[in-house]
Amino acid sequence: MRGSEIISCDSDDDEDDNETLPYDHGSEQNELNWLRAITNRQKAKIQELNEGKKMLSIELAQLKDTMLACLHSHKCLL
């Protein structure tokens, strides 16, 4: 049950379980739109972070290669 829904607890009949007090569906739509906007921003941020992680992994691999090449060249010079 969502916090914005109010369900009547006066009836024990299974048929009446879906009975709700009057509800403003425009407000529900606004809430859904707000949640979708939050979800979309979170998805965009996750994608941005994943791309950053990928770039860092590439840069780290390049740095390792450079360091190994440098170490190898110094050993050969000694």
Print pLDDT tens along the chain (78 aa).
455 554 555 555 555 555 555 667 888 989 999 999 999 999 999 999 999 999 999 999 999 999 888 888 877 555
Q: Read off the tokens for 51.
A: 């791309």
Q: What is the DSSP letter of 3?
A: T
What letter represents residue 55's amino acid?
M
- What confidence score (pLDDT) does residue 1 get? 46
What letter represents residue 51's amino acid?
E
